[in-house]
Structure 1
Amino acid sequence: MDCEPEEMQFLGMFGIYQEAAKILVRWRRLFAQIGSALVLPLSFLFFAHIVISRRIFTTIDRDETVLDDSPPGSTSESYALNRLSSDWSSFLLFKGVYLLALLVLALLSTAAVVYSVASIYTARRDLTFRKVIAVAPRVWRRLMSTFLCAFLILFALHSLAIALFLAIILVTIDSSIASPLLVIFVLIPLYVASLIYISVVWHLASVLSVLEDARGLEAMRRSRRLIQGKLLLACVIFLKLNFCFGLVEWGFRLLLAKWSSNGAGFSLLLSLVLLLLLGLVILFALTVQTVVYFVCKSYHHESIDKTNLADHLEAYMGEYEPLKSQEVQMEQLRV
């Protein structure tokens, strides 16, 4: 990285983007290999999910139409019910396999990018794609622990939001319509803000799980403390990158809707372009996520000792053993 550790705290949003872009350009061969092996399959899986889900729901709609037109108790009705049952079973099975594969590829991609960026930070010259791929599965287990913790927190948030929404409806069902709407309009922004906050903390905790001796709830706690002072910046970056992701997804869905009118060859070409674009967005987002970690450490006047960090990363090449607390303790910068 071009910036000295104590200078990274002054990086704004565009400075973080620039730093991430420089890393990707200077180490383009390594990140191109990571992208080809992990990020592009992740992007392809996401697009394939959209295509297959669309086809399954088209079949479900057609079978539901047949069911509506079938006389009660007829053979055609029984056949349509069996088809619908089979369609929904296929969809649920596909959804389960998709989510599992998505989780594995997403965590492996995160592990590979975070490990690579941190190794670049320590000025390692022997960083190769083979080493990154060897390390990623070991780091994946630590990331899974942090993911499960974040998932439970998000599940609790969604459950609480649903419970409050139902309680509001039951309590105010006989009252004026303005009262429940007023409460809902207060709760919805609070719910969205909480969702963004937890997501930002989780993303930073994922980086922290790789670079420090912490995982799960402990990583979430450290991440929450680390994000203080840079929360608004991290949230804006998170929203912008997710907007870019959503924009590419919207473009692909629009392309699917107009596939026949565009022509198969042209539509296939656009699909490949969108696939590469989505992969680039994901790769850039993961790099930015890691740079934000270093910015937050610098903001709190904590500098990662490059020698200890290098030893910590090198430990992943063998069976991982937690480092001693003093070996991963962040040194306070003298201001």
Structure 2
Amino acid sequence: MEKEQEEMQFLGVLGIYTESYKIIWSCRKIFSQITLSLILPLSFVFLAHIQVSNLFFYKIRHDQFLQHITPPGTKRHDKLSDLVSSDWALFWLFKFLYFTFLLALSLLSTAAVVYTVASVYTAREVTFRTVIAVVPKVWKRLMLTFLCSYSTLLLYNAVALLILILWAVTLAFTVAGTVVFFSILILYSVGFVYMTVVWQLASVVSVLEEFYGFRAMVKSKELIKGKTWVTVAIFFKLNFSLVAIHILFRILVVQADSVGVLGRIGFGILSFMLLCKLFLFGLVIQTVIYLVCKSHHHENIDKSALSDHLEVYLGEYVPLKAKDVQLEQFHV
């Protein structure tokens, strides 16, 4: 990395993008290997889920239509009823398998990219074999952080649903109720985005520090202070790009009939390539944001101590310790 940590606190959105691109370009070989082994399967699972889900819904709607036009009480109606139930069971089994693979590949990709960027930051040589050796040990910490973050989001959504129900039974269909509804919607959206940003940075904290789970989320929340607008802006742009690719794939590949087979294949390949690049770029950006936030709070990471901790990949994974490497203060 070209910039020293003292300088990184001044990076804005464009500066973080530029620094992330430089990291990827300077180590393009290992990032290409990570992409082929982890991010490529992650992108395939993400896009395949859209295609397969559409096929499931088409079959379910077709069987439900046949059931609807078949007289009740007949053997055909009973068979169609069992078939629809079977369709839904297979659909939810597919959803479970999808989320399982998506979660596993996401956490493994996060661990690999964060570890690699940290190695680049310490100017130590890192190989793909090293990364693969470390990833399974870091993965457990990331899983705990994910479970804590996910449970927090579930609680947040449950509270939001309760507030919405109270609004529906008290103020719905009134002028004041409309104003209150949009106020609730705005506050919910802001809170959801903020919690998601905290979650993403907590994943980096879980890899590079001794904190994980709820403690990683608390640490992430502290780091974001002072850089909230920068992190939210980047989060919004990355997720807007993800939604755009999702829509592009659905319209031009899954539901397209007029572009032909070759056109659908071409757009599918384009969506796949864009998604791979987006996932890799987003994960590198998360780690750079972590370094920027650390610099903003004058929490200097000692590179030699960080390198020592990264060096233990052949043994048990040892995370960074606050007293050694993350709280050494520097002055600008």
- The alignment's TM-score, normalised by the length of structure 1, stands at 0.96
Alpha-carbon distance in structure 1 between the residues aligned to 2:320 and 2:56: 49
Rounded to whole Å, the distance in 2 between the matches of 1:138 and 1:71 is: 58
- Contact 1:172 / 1:179 at 8 angstroms: preserved in 2? yes
How far apart are 1:67 and its partner, in Å?
1.2
The 5 Å alignment of 1:1-335 reads 1-125=1-125, 127-172=126-171, 177-321=174-318, 325-335=322-332
Cα offset, 1:184, TM superposition: 0.9
Deviates more, 1:104-113 or 1:128-137: 128-137
What residue identity is the alignment partner of 1:148? L
Deviates more, 1:73-82 or 1:222-231: 73-82
Q: CA deviation at 1:280?
A: 0.2
- The one-letter code of the counterpart of 2:188 is Y
Please identify runs of 4+ aligned residues in structure 1 that moved more than 6 A.
none
Hey, what's the Cα distance between the residues in 2 that align with 1:329 and 1:286? 21
The alignment of Structure 1 onto Structure 2 pairs a total of residues equal to: 332
The answer (yes or no) to whether the contact 1:211–1:312 under 8 Å persists in 2 is no
Code of the residue aligned with 2:214 in structure 1: it is L
Deviation at 1:301, TM superposition (A): 1.2
**2:168 corresponds to which letter in structure 1?**
I
5+ residue gaps, structure 1: none
1:334 CA drift (Å): 2.3
C-alpha distance in 1, partners of 2:176/2:256? 46
CA–CA separation in structure 1 for the residues paired with 2:18 and 2:111: 22
Bigger shift: 319-328 or 295-304? 319-328
Mapped partners of 2:299, 2:320: distance in 1:
18
Q: Say which is worse superposed, 85-94 or 268-277, in terms of deviation.
A: 268-277
How far the C-alpha of 1:268 sits from its partner, in A, is 1.2
Unmatched 5+ stretches in structure 2: none
Amino acid at match of 1:12: G
* Residue deviations 1:212-235 (CA, integer Å, cap 9, x gap): 111001110111011000001000
The one-letter code of the counterpart of 2:176 is: S
In structure 2, the residue corresponding to 1:319 is in which secondary structure? Answer: coil
Distance 1:333 1:324 in 2: 17
Question: Contact (CA 8 Å) 2:160, 2:188: kept in 1 or not?
Answer: yes
- Paired residues of 1:6 and 1:298 also in contact (CA < 8 A): yes
Deviations 1:45-74 (A, max 9, x none): 011100110000000100111111011211
- Which one-letter code corresponds to 1:158 in the other structure? N
| Cα deviations by residue, 1:190-220 (Å, 9 ceiling, x for unpaired) | 0000000000011111101111111001110
Q: TM-score, normalised by structure 2?
A: 0.97
Q: Is the 8 A contact 2:253 2:268 kept in 1?
A: no
Q: Give me the whole-angstrom Cα distance separating, in 2, the residues matched to 1:71 and 1:221.
A: 59
Which region of structure 1 is more displaced relative to structure 2, 82-91 or 247-256? Answer: 247-256
> CA separation of 1:88/1:223 partners in 2, compared to 1, >3 Å: closer, same or farther?
same
Matched residue of 1:10: which SS? coil
Check conservation: 1:213, 1:328, Cα contact below 8 A. no
CA deviations over 1:219-265 (Å, ceiling 9, x no partner): 10111011000001000000000011111111100112554422222
Residues 205 and 222 of structure 1 are in contact (CA less than 8 Å); yes or no, is this contact kept in structure 2? yes
The answer to whether the Cα contact below 8 Å between 1:38 and 1:108 also exists between their aligned partners in 2 is yes
**1 CA distance for matches of 2:116 and 2:46?**
24
The CA distance in 2 between the partners of 1:43 and 1:211, in whole Å, is: 25
